[in-house]
Amino acid sequence: MTSQLERVSTSSILTRNDVAHLVGLPLDTVRRWSARAQGGRPPLVTQGRRGYGPNPPTIPLLGLSEASLMKHLTTETKKGPRKILSAVREAKEQNPLCFALEGFYTDGTDTFFGHLGGLERTKDRQQAFREILAPYLRKMNFADGILQSYVVKEMDHDRVLIDPRFRSGRPFLESSGMPVFPILAEMKDSMKLEAIADEFDVPFEVVRDVRRHRRELAPVA
């Protein structure tokens, strides 16, 4: 039986285009980060087994988490991308799956583990604040200390998640497990929202939320 740690690190559910869209990065950046370095692992995004089709998914949930963290740190700290990338590489040399584990973080310079509601620097056990990582952490769902799912969108009445255990990693509604793509397809055919809600047994308010955010959801649905 596949463990959750194996699932999030090897089950390919995303393309580079998906990751670029979800994280808000240029596609070229995702390609560069996920390129396999000579004689080693990709510098950032962990590639899993290849999927099928003309543009097969090659990136597991762990890769999305890593890309999201890199983007957040690059945006929110004063450290340059190279310094942050170096910290991520150093952490992954110690444990390639470290970013799939709850409580393990980096601020682009040091690494930390969760401790008593805060963060403790690994090299000297000094405390650090979680505030800088809060936006990143809101995107990640952990269970039993292991990464479970990624929050694509927090809507007014529901959340859209990606979880390799369900729907082959396609975005779905948290409340019902309903994949988003059939709802979007009916909207494209100009079907009324009330009828879509009835057809899929989804609250009208949730269908309305999906319509409001359809431009964000459609490229990865």
**How do residues 23-53 score in pLDDT, each as one tens digit?**
999 999 898 888 765 556 666 777 665 656 6
Shared domain for 117 and 66, answered yes or no, is yes
Shared domain for 47 and 23, answered yes or no, is yes
pLDDT for 202 beyond 60: yes
Shared domain for 181 and 196, answered yes or no, is yes
* Domain endpoint, select from 118, 148, 178: 148
Shared domain for 81 and 173, answered yes or no, is no
Shared domain for 200 and 106, answered yes or no, is no
Shared domain for 95 and 202, answered yes or no, is no
* Domain endpoint, select from 115, 148, 181: 148
Shared domain for 89 and 70, answered yes or no, is yes
Per-residue pLDDT tens over the stretch 133-144: 777 778 999 888
Residue 210: CB atoms within 10 Å: 26
Shared domain for 188 and 121, answered yes or no, is no
**Mean pLDDT of the residues in the chain:** 82
Asked if residues 112 and 106 have their Cβ atoms less than 8 Å apart, the reply is yes
Q: Tell me, what CATH number does 171's domain have?
A: 1.10.10
Residue 120: CB atoms within 10 Å: 15
pLDDT value at residue 43? 66
Q: What is the mean pLDDT of residues 58-79?
A: 85
pLDDT value at residue 105? 61
SS3 16: helix
Angle between helices 61-76 and 81-94 (to 10 degrees): 140
Q: What is the mean pLDDT of residues 147-163?
A: 95
Per-residue pLDDT tens over the stretch 88-106: 777 787 788 888 887 666 6
Asked if residues 15 and 27 have their Cβ atoms less than 8 Å apart, the reply is no
* Domain endpoint, select from 148, 171, 206: 148
Shared domain for 170 and 197, answered yes or no, is yes
pLDDT value at residue 209? 96
Share of the chain above pLDDT 70, in %: 77
The structural domain count of the chain equals 2
SS3 150: strand
Locate 150 and state its tokens.
């990624």
Handedness of CA 182, 178, 138, 45 (dihedral sign): negative
Share of the chain above pLDDT 90, in %: 46
130/138: higher pLDDT: 138
Shared domain for 25 and 92, answered yes or no, is yes
Shared domain for 46 and 117, answered yes or no, is yes
Enclosing domain of residue 129: 1-148
Shared domain for 191 and 112, answered yes or no, is no
164/121: higher pLDDT: 164
pLDDT for 18 beyond 50: yes
**Partners of 14 in beta bridges:** 59
